[in-house]
Amino acid sequence: MRVVLVEDDYLQAESIHSWLRQAWPHVEIDRIETEKAFRAQLQSLSTHPPDVIIMDVMLRWSDPSPDFDQPPDEVEREGFYRAGVRCAELLRDDAGTSRIPVILYSVLEKLDLAGELAQTSQVRFLPKSFEPAHLVRLVGSLVAAQKPTKQPLGMARDVFICHATEDKVEIVAPLVAALRDSNITVWHDRAEIRWGDSMISKVEEGLRISRYVLAVLSKHSVTKSWPRRELNAALNSEALTGDTKLLPLIVGTAEERTAILRECALLDERLYEVWTGSTEPIVQRVKQRLN
């Protein structure tokens, strides 16, 4: 997984580095500090596109130097307040970079950029006032959406992700991206079920070809029929074969976790993991199971 970070504030850039590496320890992060440097990298971005670009909106044109060159007319006219928007527009207008997801991460409010945001579907906006977890989740979601499954449909998978729609953005998308970055093959509905497919047939196939079922058990999933069917299928497989199939991942407060375990009849000696907001412990435990 590769992220390009366009940020001229050193402390802010270091914080973002830390947040991303906590979620994905092996992530590759390339930093660009000025609008001029970004424009110089456009060809490279087209040739080797990253998975996502995190872009500050207010960027200086270039670093101070004795041979400071005059910026283009539009930069002189609009100033540094729209630098990130100009960079996003350059990406949009190039066929090699137009599909790269861009996160405009700014102290500005969304209404300040409403007109610009409406002109490109690849750009998402996130205020810097939001908690770091929001940025990490958005990065994970965009990366997961961009990456197709690494194996042809119908071939074996390491893990089937059982979840509710409500948990897709905050938990499932970052988890899928982290698992794939660790070369763990994943079956999850967004990548596997195509327009016109039978959901029942595809889910049954996914359960059959997957070695484990990683069940994201939350207050949402335990009340939904599809996750419950997938959970029961994993438990039935265990009863028939005697092999471990189900890997429970419990989400929620202590009170919610107790209710979930009671609802799913899992209050026995089965070991489960608790979601803490970080994908790394889960990826490591899945690796241990696979090995």
Please, what are the domains in the chain?
A: 2-145 (3.40.50.2300), 150-290 (3.40.50.10140)
Please, where are the H alpha helices in the chain? Answer: 10-23, 35-40, 42-47, 73-78, 83-92, 114-117, 132-146, 173-181, 189-192, 199-209, 225-241, 254-263, 280-290
- Of residues 150, 144, 148, 202, the one with CA closest to residue 169: 144
Short-list 158, 159, 176, CA closest to 167: 176
pTM of the full structure = 0.55
Q: How far apart are CA 50 and CA 37, in angstroms?
A: 16
One digit per residue, the tens of pLDDT, for the chain of length 291 reads 899 999 988 999 999 999 988 888 888 999 999 989 999 999 999 989 999 999 998 888 888 776 667 778 888 787 777 888 888 889 988 888 988 899 988 887 767 666 666 566 678 888 888 888 888 888 887 877 665 544 555 578 899 999 998 998 889 989 998 998 888 999 988 777 777 778 788 888 888 889 999 999 999 998 888 888 888 888 888 878 888 888 999 999 999 988 888 887 655 567 889 999 899 999 999 999 998
C-alpha–C-alpha distance, residues 102 and 180, integer Å: 21
Give which of 170, 100, 163 is closest to 131, Cα–Cα: 170
Q: State how far the Cα of 136 lies from the Cα of 222, in Å rounded to an integer.
A: 26
